[in-house]
Amino acid sequence: MSETTDERTARDRISFLRTLRAFRSFRPDPVPQEIIDDILEVARWSGSASNKQPWEILVVRERDTLRSLSSVEGYAGHLAGAPLGIVLIMAGDRAEQETYDEGRLAERIMLAAHAHGIGSSIGWIVGSGRDAAKELLGIPQEKVVRTAISLGYPDEGARRSSAGRGQARKPLGRIVHEERYG
């Protein structure tokens, strides 16, 4: 039996979701403004606890700023070679809800970028890096700055050489339970 249009659409969408990967090496080409606008529009529509939308989004294109941000304490070294960085600024009012909201926001930004063939990776800023990032970017002290996302067109050479490395997943049999745990 041949696949219906609905089935093909579902298969394409599932494939799109399943193939989101972290990319940390980018070509220098800038990300076009229309694509950035699209990503931000998707981000704006993320769901959040009690619909508080406890976020602001900082778009960084300046090479020097990205380089400085890449060197604060944390794991966002990939920002140094990215043409674009998106820093998530959380309100800092309700830690538990906002941490969850931030994860959703980050994932949506990455998926919207993926839809345009733009690779991305989360970079976490930790410890002294959080104050350093706020100082660097002029962000008020009371805000939470933890997530910086690198974005850009994937460097195909780097993509090929890292294909399959460190991207394994646990099989469903190890993580899914039916009706009762165990």
Ligand X SMILES: Cc1cc2nc3c(=O)[nH]c(=O)nc-3n(C[C@H](O)[C@H](O)[C@H](O)COP(=O)(O)O)c2cc1C
Taking the complex as a whole, the smallest distance from the CB of residue 147 to ligand X amounts, in Å, to: 7
Among the listed residues 81, 121, 129, 130, the single contact to ligand X using CB under 6 A: 121
Q: How many CB atoms lie within 10 A of CB 106?
A: 20
For ligand X, which is the closer residue by CB, 83 or 123?
A: 123
Cα end-to-end distance, the chain, whole Å:
38
Among the listed residues 73, 75, 94, 97, the single contact to ligand X using CB under 6 A: 75
Write the DSSP string, 142-158: TSEEEEEEEEE-B-HHH
Taking the complex as a whole, the smallest distance from the CB of residue 100 to ligand X amounts, in Å, to: 11
Characterize 113-129 residue by residue with b for buried, 16 or more Cβ atoms within 10 angstroms of its Cβ, and e for exposed.
Answer: bbeeebbbbbbebeeeb
Kindly identify the residues of this chain, within the stretch 144-173, that bind ligand X according to CB under 6 A: 166-167
String marking each residue 45-74 x if it binds ligand X according to CB under 6 A: ------------------------------
Residue closest to ligand X, measured at CB: 75
For ligand X, which is the closer residue by CB, 123 or 152?
A: 123
Residue 119 CA, chain-centre distance (Å), reads 9
